[in-house]
C-alpha cells in the first residue's frame, strides 16, 4: 500500500478518535515535521478549519453534525459548514429575511464579529443600513437588502412599546418594597404599594425588575395571569 494511503488512514483514525486536532497533534501522529505534508494529507481526506481560535483546529468534513445555523461546536472550537467566518456571515446575512444585527450574529456564532462585519461591508460582500441608531446587516444585492430592511421595520413596528420606568420617587418606593416585602413577585409588590396608596402597574414593576435584575436569586419569577 502506498505511504500516502497509510498516512491518510492514520489521519482518519486520529480524527475519529479525537474529532478535532491541531497542527502539533497531527504532526506527531503522522510522524512528520512538515506542515505541507500535513495539509496534503488533510486535503486528500477533505477537512475543515475552525473559524474560532484563529483557525487553530481541524476536523474532517464528515465528522461535524451541524445545527440549523450550519454551526458545530466541539468544546470551545467552532466550525461552520461554510468553512470560514467570512463565508458564514455572508450566508447568514443573505438568508435572513430581516437581515441581522451585530448582536444577533454574535449570539449565533458565539464570538465577536465586529471587525469581520466591517471588512465584509468594505469589501461589498454584505450591505449595511442605519436603522433606529443601530446597524442592520443585509444582503449585498440592493433589491434583497431593501426588502430585508423593510421586513425589519415591519417587525419593529409590530413589537409592543417598552414600558417606561416609573418616576424616581415611585422607583425608590418599589425598590424599598422589594427589600422589605416577603412577597417578591411583581403582582405582590403592586398590591402592597396599592394598599399604601401608591398607584403603580404590574407592568411598571416588571420593567423595574428587568432593569435591575431583581427576582433572580430564588429563580426567575413567572408572570402572573391577568
* φ, ψ dihedrals at 198, nearest 5°: -95, 125
- Give the mean model confidence (pLDDT) for residues 161-178: 80
Residue pair 50/57 in contact (Cβ under 8 Å)? The answer is yes
User: Could you give the C-alpha distances from 95 to 39, 84, 137, in angstroms and in order?
Assistant: 32, 17, 11
Kindly provide the b/e burial profile for residues 53-77, where b requires at least 16 CB atoms within 10 angstroms of the residue's own CB. eeeebbbbeebbeeeeebbbebeeb
Please classify residue 167 by burial: count the beta carbons closer than 10 Å to its beta carbon, then call 0-12 exposed, 13-18 middle and 19+ buried: exposed
pLDDT value at position 217? 44
Closest CA to 66 of 52, 85, 51, 79: 79
Q: Render pLDDT for 23-69 as a digit per residue (tens, 0 to 9).
A: 999 999 999 999 999 999 999 999 999 999 999 999 999 999 999 99
How far apart are alpha carbons 174 and 224 in whole angstroms? Answer: 18
Q: Render pLDDT for 177-205 as a digit per residue (tens, 0 to 9).
A: 888 776 668 878 888 888 888 888 888 88
Contacts of 203 (CB under 8 A, 6+ apart): 163
What DSSP letter does each residue of 94-147 carry, written as one string?
A: HH-TT-B-HHHHHHHHTS--HHHHHHHHHTTSEEEEEETTEEEEEESSHHHHHH
Average pLDDT in the chain: 87
pLDDT value at position 78? 97
- Give the mean model confidence (pLDDT) for residues 204-219: 70
In angstroms, how far is CA 75 from the centroid of its own chain? 16
In angstroms, how far is CA 18 from the centroid of its own chain? 26
Amino acid at each position: 500500500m502506498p505511504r500516502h494511503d497509510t498516512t491518510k488512514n492514520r489521519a482518519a483514525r486520529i480524527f475519529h478518535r479525537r474529532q478535532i486536532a491541531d497542527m502539533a497533534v497531527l504532526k506527531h501522529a503522522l510522524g512528520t515535521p512538515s506542515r505541507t505534508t500535513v495539509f496534503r494529507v488533510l486535503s486528500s481526506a477533505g477537512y475543515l478549519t475552525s473559524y474560532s481560535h484563529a483557525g487553530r483546529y481541524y476536523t474532517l468534513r464528515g465528522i461535524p453534525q451541524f445545527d440549523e445555523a450550519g454551526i458545530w461546536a466541539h468544546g470551545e472550537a467552532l466550525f461552520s459548514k461554510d468553512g470560514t467566518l467570512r463565508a458564514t456571515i455572508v450566508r447568514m446575512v443573505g438568508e435572513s429575511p430581516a437581515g441581522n444585527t451585530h448582536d444577533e450574529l454574535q449570539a449565533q456564532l458565539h464570538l465577536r464579529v465586529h471587525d469581520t462585519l466591517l471588512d465584509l461591508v468594505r469589501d461589498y460582500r454584505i450591505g449595511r443600513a442605519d436603522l433606529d441608531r443601530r446597524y442592520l446587516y443585509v444582503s449585498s444585492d440592493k433589491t434583497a437588502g431593501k426588502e430585508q430592511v423593510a421586513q425589519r421595520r415591519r417587525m419593529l413596528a409590530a413589537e409592543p412599546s417598552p414600558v417606561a420606568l416609573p418616576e424616581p420617587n415611585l422607583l425608590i418606593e418599589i425598590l424599598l418594597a422589594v427589600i422589605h416585602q416577603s412577597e417578591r413577585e411583581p403582582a405582590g409588590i403592586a398590591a402592597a404599594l396599592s394598599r399604601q396608596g401608591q398607584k403603580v402597574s404590574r407592568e411598571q414593576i416588571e420593567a423595574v425588575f428587568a432593569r435591575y435584575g431583581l427576582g433572580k436569586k430564588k429563580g426567575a419569577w413567572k408572570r402572573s395571569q391577568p
